[in-house]
């Protein structure tokens, strides 16, 4: 009997990736994430098909794994001595995991006090060296860009072109599953790499004859951290969604060009709308995401409420797992009901006594 081993994104999409000399042997099983229908959102929006791409099902719980496996494979080709990144948490966890897998030291610089607990726990367990700076993500990125000028130190933020090459595989998977690109794609925007990567993927697939169309891109930033909506960088981005608390996105130009080419938009969503979408996904769809990941769904509901024209088929990208940020989940949900360990007491606190 032949065992069939799930391939990672490099093996599955090699012909579209920057490996002229064959597939490097690096994967932790990234990609191949579920695409599930969301009838609750179809009812609410009147859109015929709403699909959710569950990127939290990647090995470290976010979409970053797709880009990181390619970036780290390329770093190995370049004989890297160390990987370095700035991160609001998910990039750090992915870099640390693939660094561990590849046997390369990883350094992660994160904003102090605003990195979700699950992300820090992962990054630390994978053995990365973590530096917490008393500043924002944008400060951290400025610092790591300079440290990466040292010999053998590879920057694995999404300014590393190989990251976006890997991340574009999510677009391939969507087309492979649906038979064509959707009419619209909804997703959160932070450092603005992912939206650019999706565009590369959809355009690449159309050019290869695998899709007949490309989607309209709909990116969403949190209202208090929306430099691309305001049209200028901001020094002090504010949002509960720490993953996308970024004031000066590194991939601004490519993302803005992608959005324009798609006839799309980058819009702001209020905190309350993101929190509502975060709860709605969990409590009516059984999908537990981190709060930043709910921005696309919040944006979809906001646009429909505003009476925008109805597309027929849309995909919302849910970028990260809810387990990344247990503190927000515990704050946004009901406390357990305390009870002594006997049947009567538990029946009573449930309100099930006759
Ligand atoms: N959603 C999640 C869960 C993220 O972690 C990020 C970015 C985004 C969306 C936005 O994606 O930056 O490509 O526009 N997280 C980065 C990090 C900044 O350091 O983990 P983007």
* Residues 129 and 105 sit within 8 Å (Cβ to Cβ): yes
- Quote the CA–CA distance of 142 and 184 in Å, as a whole number: 33
- Quote the CA–CA distance of 156 and 148 in Å, as a whole number: 9
pLDDT above 60 (res 6): no
User: Which domains can be identified in the chain, with CATH numbers?
Assistant: 9-62+166-331 (3.40.50.1100), 64-162 (3.40.50.1100)
**Cα-atom radius of gyration of the chain, to the nearest Å?**
20
pLDDT of 4: 65
pLDDT above 90 (res 22): no
Token match 């699909």: residue?
Answer: 51
CA of 243 to the centre of ligand 1 (A): 5
- What atom of ligand 1 comes closest to residue 91's alpha carbon? 20
Mutation to probe ligand 1, out of 244, 281, 320, 329 (largest number of atoms < 8 A from CB): 244
- Ligand 1 within 6 A of 122 CB? no
Tens of pLDDT, residue by residue over 241-253, are 999 999 999 999 9
For residue 61, name the pLDDT band (cuts at 50, 70, 90). Answer: very high
Residue nearest to atom 19 of ligand 1 (CA): 87
CA of 312 to the centre of ligand 1 (A): 27
pLDDT of 1: 61
Tens of pLDDT, residue by residue over 204-215, are 999 999 999 999
- Ligand 1 within 6 A of 247 CB? no
What is the layout of strands, in order, in the sheet containing 35-37? 35-37, 49-54, 313-318, 184-188, 216-222, 265-269
pLDDT of 322: 98
Q: What is the mean pLDDT of residues 46-59?
A: 98
* Residues 19 and 165 sit within 8 Å (Cβ to Cβ): no
- Ligand 1 within 6 A of 227 CB? no
CA of 7 to the centre of ligand 1 (A): 24
């Amino acid at each position: 009997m032949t065992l069939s081993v799930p391939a990672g994104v490099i093996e599955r999409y090699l012909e579209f990736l920057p490996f002229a000399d064959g597939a490097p042997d690096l994967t932790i099983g990234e990609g191949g994430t579920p695409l599930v229908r969301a009838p609750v959102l179809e009812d609410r929006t009147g859109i015929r098909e709403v699909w959710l791409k569950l990127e939290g099902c990647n090995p470290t719980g976010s979409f970053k794994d797709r880009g990181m496996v390619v970036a780290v494979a390329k770093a190995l080709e370049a004989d890297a001595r160390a990987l370095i990144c700035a991160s609001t948490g998910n990039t750090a966890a992915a870099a640390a995991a693939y660094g561990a897998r590849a046997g390369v030291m990883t350094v992660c610089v994160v904003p102090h006090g605003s990195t979700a607990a699950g992300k820090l726990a992962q990054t630390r367990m994978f053995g990365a060296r973590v530096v917490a700076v008393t500043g924002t993500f944008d400060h951290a990125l400025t610092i790591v860009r300079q440290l990466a000028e040292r010999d053998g130190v590879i920057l694995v933020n999404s300014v590393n072109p190989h990251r976006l090459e890997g991340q574009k595989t999510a677009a391939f998977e969507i087309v492979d599953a649906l038979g064509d690109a959707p009419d619209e794609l909804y997703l959160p925007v932070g450092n603005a790499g992912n939206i650019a990567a999706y565009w590369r993927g959809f355009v690449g697939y159309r050019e290869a004859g695998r899709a007949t169309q490309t989607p309209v891109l709909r990116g969403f930033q949190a209202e208090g951290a929306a430099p691309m909506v305001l049209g200028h960088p901001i020094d002090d981005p504010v949002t509960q969604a720490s993953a996308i608390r970024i004031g000066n996105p590194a991939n601004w130009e490519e993302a803005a060009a992608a959005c324009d080419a798609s006839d799309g938009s980058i819009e702001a969503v209020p905190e309350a709308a993101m929190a509502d979408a975060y709860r709605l996904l969990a409590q009516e769809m059984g999908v537990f995401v981190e709060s930043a990941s709910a921005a696309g769904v919040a944006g979809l509901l906001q646009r429909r409420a505003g009476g925008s024209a109805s597309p027929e088929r849309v995909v919302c990208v849910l970028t990260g797992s809810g387990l990344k940020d247990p503190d927000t989940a515990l704050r946004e949900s009901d406390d357990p009901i305390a009870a002594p360990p006997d049947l009567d007491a538990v029946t009573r606190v449930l309100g099930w006594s006759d």
